[in-house]
Copies of this chain bind each other. A is one copy, B any other.
């Protein structure tokens, strides 16, 4: 699949065609595309604009192999060119307990940007599972108050997954339950 950075997707199409991609081509991701994804992530809204996030770009093969040993659903990272570990930064907290929402919005922006420029990605969960969190702290040497939140695994897609409409009227209520 070609680099789509200069003809990216329209917003609603991007939202509706983004799928979790777990198979990747054996091909590097250019630094400017990593920057595009991180920049999109950091444009997310956050509680009181606190931006309580940090990002660890993972390209080192040894780190990727270590991750596969501690997370049951991330074996594909061994063959992916890139992981991006999204962390909460409690030193930036203005509103207690909102940092996972900051990080989630950043992650969703990152995934949409990845899809928009022709990459494929999947959000794998870490927080709030204590044991999994401890292992990521250990692998990446995270200091106190930097919380491993979630890991995006990213690559050039080697699979195409059709989009399914998920809208259901059952989840919509009007003015009361």
Contact = CB atoms under 8 A, between A and B. Distances in A.
Q: How many copies does the complex hold?
A: 2
Given A42-B166, A95-B125, A176-B141, A53 B10 contact: no
A171 B55 contact: yes
A60 interface: yes
Contact of A101 (B14, B60, B104): B104
A107 interface: yes
A9 interface: yes
A56 interface: yes
A174 B83 CA distance: 10
A175 interface: yes
Contacts of A108: 44-45, 104-105, 108-109
Interface string A44-64: 110100010111111110010
Contacts of A123: 45, 105
